Structure 1
C-alpha cells in the first residue's frame, strides 16, 4: 500500500496548484472535485438520482447537473445540500478508493495525493489517510483570488466560504501546513518540493 496524503484547503487557498505540483513531482493525484464533476456530466452516475431527488429542472437539456440552479437551492436550503451530498459522497468515495487501488497496483508513484476540498468537513477521511496537508491563507485573500478568477460577486464567494469548514477547523486536521498568503507560483512550487522531500524521508514507502 502506498502512503496516502490528503491535501485540502478553502476555496482560493491554492490547494489545486499544490496538487498539480505534486503531480509534476511524480505523485499520483486523485482529485475529488474532478470525480464529482464527472458524476454530474451527461451520462454521469449521479444524474438519475439527482433528477429523481430534485426534479428535472435541475438537469440541463444536455443531461448534466444544472450547477447554477443547484447552487441557488443549496444556498437557500441547507437540506438541499445534505440531500445532494447523500447522493454524491458514496459515489465519490467509491471512485477515490478504486483509483487508489489502481495506483497501488499500476503506478510508479511513491505516494498518492488525495485532493479533497471538504476533508475537514467529514469525520471519515483522517483515519483513512497517513498525513494531511492544509493549504492556508487569510480569508480576505481567498475572497480576492476567487473573485479575480470568476464572475462571482463578493457575496456569492462569501456564501461558498461560509459553507466550508473554517480555517481553524482545517488547521486542526493538519500534519503539515503550507502558508500560501504571499508566495509566488515559483515559491509555492519550491515549498511543495521541500515538503515532498520531507514526506519521502519520514513515510514508510512501498517497494
Structure 2
C-alpha cells in the first residue's frame, strides 16, 4: 500500500512525517529528493539551465535564490520546473521501496498522476496557525507567507481529494490521529 502525506505549506506535514518515523515508518521526502536530484542529475541541471539560465547553477552549485525567483514569477514557470524535476522524483520514489511519501504539491502539480498512490493523508491546520509557522520558520512577513499559501491549492480542495485528515492545530492529538490512520491502513492492507 502506497500512502502520500500532503497538505499546504505550514500545515505541519514534516512534523507529521517525523511522528510517523517515530512509529517506525520510513517516509520518502519528495522535497529532499528533488534537491538531491537537482544537485546530482546532469540532465536536470542542463534542462533547468536551458529554462532559467546558467546562473541557476553558478559555480557548479544549485543557486536556490535564482531558482525560487524564476519559480515565483508565474504559475507557468513553476509548472515548467515541475515538468523537469517531477518525473525524476517520481521514478526515484518508485525505485526507492518506500511505502509512504511526503509531497507538498501532490495535486497542484499533477504529481499524483506520476506515481502509484493508494491512500492520501491530508495534514490541515487553521490559516492563522499556518501563517505564523511560515513566518517563524522562514523569517518572512505575514503578507509574504499568505502569498505563498495562496499559490497552492486551497486546503479544503486538497482535503476533498484525500482519504484521511490529520488536524495539526496544536490542540488535537496528532499521535492519536496517526495511530488510528496507521491501524486503518494496516487493516485495509490485509
Q: Does TM, scored on the shorter chain, surpass 0.5?
A: yes
Does 1:141 pair with 2:129? Answer: yes
Please, what is the CA RMSD of the aligned residues? 2.0
Q: Displacement, 1:15?
A: 0.7
Aligned-residue offset at 1:76 = 2.1
Q: Which moved more, 1:188-197 or 1:3-12?
A: 188-197
2:5 and 2:13 in contact (8 A); partners too: yes
Question: What secondary structure sits across from 2:58 in the alignment?
Answer: coil
In structure 2, what is the Cα distance between the partners aligned to 1:79 and 1:195? 36
Q: What is the number of equivalent residue pairs in this alignment? A: 188
CA distance in 2, matches of 1:123, 1:39: 19
> What is the match of residue 108 of structure 2?
121
SS of the residue aligned with 1:177?
strand
1:27 to 1, 6, 25: 25
Q: Which residue of 1 aligns with 2:83?
A: 86
Cα shift at 1:95: 0.7
Can you give the 5+ residue segments of structure 1 that lack an aligned partner in the other structure? 104-111
Relative to the length of structure 2, the TM-score reads 0.88
Deviates more, 1:188-197 or 1:14-23: 188-197
State the TM-score, normalizing by the size of structure 1. Answer: 0.82
Q: Name the CA distance, whole Å, in 2 between partners of 1:98 and 1:76.
A: 33
C-alpha spacing 1:21/1:4, structure 2 compared with 1 (3 Å): same
Q: Does 1:194 align with 2:180?
A: yes
Q: Distance in 2 between matches of 1:124 and 1:148?
A: 28
Query: CA offsets per residue over residues 17-36 of structure 1, 9 Å max, x none?
Result: 11122122222311111101
Q: Which moved more, 1:120-129 or 1:150-159?
A: 120-129
Counterparts of 1:33 and 1:124 in 2: how far apart (Å)?
Answer: 12
Find the partner of 1:131 among 119, 124, 135: 119
- Native 8 Å contact 2:34 2:85 kept in 1: yes
- Runs of 4+ aligned structure 1 residues displaced above 6 Å come to none
Match of 1:70 in 2: 67
Report the secondary structure of 1:134's partner residue. strand
Residue 166 of structure 1: aligned partner: 154
Name structure 2 gaps, 5 residues minimum.
none
